């Protein structure tokens, strides 16, 4: 009897887990399924199935251009955000720095400010500085948003770095530049890879910043948004499914990589 009672909550918890998994996966599964519908409107039941939408999407010039543009922005964002993130993290972890907590707080500011406010303040900022909207502004906006996350990841890793590694390198004749390149950077590698993949994914996914900072050339989310607003067809589902598969594969690789390097 006692056994029965102690098991009941467990079963309930297990059920809640699976219900939640279904809740998370169901909309995306439906969205993917709809991309195979052989009709030019979105509605259940699906009825006839086709691969035609995919054939159309992979030949769609707009889609290919938007993909290339998104990837370019993501790569630029990643490069700048990684450099600045590591730099700020090194500053915060340096010895004898005054006001460390304040620097950390301000370094994290763009991550705690709600996304819309972040985007709007950046829109005002580039207007004040006379920077035109478009590619440069998007990259700037994405970079500022990504830097705090790189800082946090790198700082976490730096805290577990033994001080004597650098001292040993210095004793063996390396100056601090060499020590940085040969000791610190390799030690940070897992955090760097994790941070970079995070930068790529958030930049490719970003909607609100691109919405305010972008020019006439659409990124992937902007293209999908425009298509959703312009009348829905399963073509959007095929597009979104392709994007989803690629980003999920990158995310899965990142998860795999960081877990392997942790052990």
Partner 1 sequence: MVDSSMTETRASAPRAGPAYAGWIGKVTASGLYSATIGLVANSARAKLVLLLAVPLAWIVLLHVGPIYQMARISFLDNYPPAAEGPIHTLGNYRLFFQEPLYFLPFVRSLIFAAVVTVAALVVTYPVAYYVAKIIKPQNRTRALLLLLIPFWAGELIRTFSVIMLLANRGAVNVLLREIGFIDRPIPLLYNYFSLSFGVIYLLALYMLLPLYSAIEKIPPQLIDAAADLGAGPFQRFRRVILPLSKDGIVSGCSLVYLTSIGVFAAPLLLGGPNSVIFPEIIASLFHGSSDKWPEGAAFSILMLAVSLSTVGLFMRVAGGRSVRLM
Touching partner 1, residues 35-74 (CB under 8 A) = 42-45
The reply to whether 101 sits near partner 1 by the rule CB under 8 A is no
Residue from 21, 165, 168, 189 that binds partner 1 (CB under 8 A)? 21
Sole residue written with tokens 């100056």: 175
Member of 71, 75, 90, 161 binding partner 1 (CB under 8 A): 90
CA distance 68 to 48: 32
Site string (188-227) toward partner 1, x via CB under 8 A: -------------x--xxxxx--xx--------x--xx--
State in angstroms the smallest separation of the CB of 52 from partner 1.
19
Q: Any contact of residue 116 with partner 1 (CB under 8 A)?
A: yes
Fill in the DSSP letter of residue 86: H
Shortest distance, position 65 Cβ to partner 1, whole Å: 18
CB distance 233 to 72 below 8 Å: no
* Out of 57, 73, 76, 140, the residue judged to bind partner 1 by CB under 8 A: 140
Distance CA 247, CA 197 (A): 10
Q: Which of 31, 79, 131, 158 binds partner 1 (CB under 8 A)?
A: 31
We find the least distance from the C-beta atom of residue 160 to partner 1, in angstroms, to be 17
Q: Would residue 94 be called left, alpha or beta, if left means φ above 0 and alpha means ψ between -120 and 50 degrees?
A: beta
Taking CB under 8 A as the binding criterion, the range among 49-57, 71-79, 157-165, 250-258 that sits at the site for partner 1 is: 250-258
* 36: nearest Cα among 48, 18, 24: 48
- Binding segment toward partner 1, per CB under 8 A, in 61-69, 131-139, 158-166, 233-241: 233-241
Minimum distance from residue 21 beta carbon to partner 1 (Å): 6
Closest CA to 201 of 145, 123, 122, 257: 145
Cα dihedral angle (29, 31, 33, 35), rounded to 10 degrees?
A: -150
- Told to check if 133 binds partner 1 by CB under 8 A, we report no
Q: Helix or strand or coil: residue 14? A: helix
User: Which of 50, 71, 115, 158 touches partner 1 (CB under 8 A)?
Assistant: 115
Environment class of 52 (CB within 10 Å of its CB; exposed 0-12, middle 13-18, buried 19+): middle
């Amino acid at each position: 009897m006692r056994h029965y009672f102690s098991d009941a909550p467990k079963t309930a918890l297990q059920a809640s887990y699976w219900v939640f998994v279904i809740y998370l996966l169901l909309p995306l599964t439906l969205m993917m399924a709809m991309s195979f519908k052989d009709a030019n409107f979105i509605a259940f039941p699906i009825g006839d199935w086709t691969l035609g939408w995919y054939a159309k999407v992979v030949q769609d010039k707009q889609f290919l251009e938007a993909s290339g543009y998104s990837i370019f922005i993501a790569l630029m964002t990643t490069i700048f955000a990684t450099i600045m993130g590591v730099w700020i993290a090194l500053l915060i972890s340096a010895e004898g720095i005054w006001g460390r907590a304040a620097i950390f707080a301000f370094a994290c500011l763009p991550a705690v400010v709600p996304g819309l406010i972040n985007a709007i303040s950046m829109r005002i900022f580039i207007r004040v500085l006379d920077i035109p909207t478009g590619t440069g502004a998007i990259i700037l906006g994405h970079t500022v948003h990504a830097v705090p996350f790189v800082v946090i990841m790198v700082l976490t890793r730096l805290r577990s770095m033994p001080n004597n590694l650098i001292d040993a390198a210095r004793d063996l004749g390396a100056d601090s530049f060499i020590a940085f390149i040969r000791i610190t950077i390799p030690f940070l590698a897992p955090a760097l890879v994790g941070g970079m993949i995070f930068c790529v994914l958030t930049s490719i996914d970003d909607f609100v910043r691109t919405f305010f900072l972008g020019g006439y050339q659409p990124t992937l989310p902007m293209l999908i948004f425009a298509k959703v607003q312009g009348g829905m067809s399963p073509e959007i589902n095929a597009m979104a499914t392709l994007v989803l598969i690629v980003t999920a594969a990158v995310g899965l690789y990142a998860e795999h990589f960081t877990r392997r390097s942790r052990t």
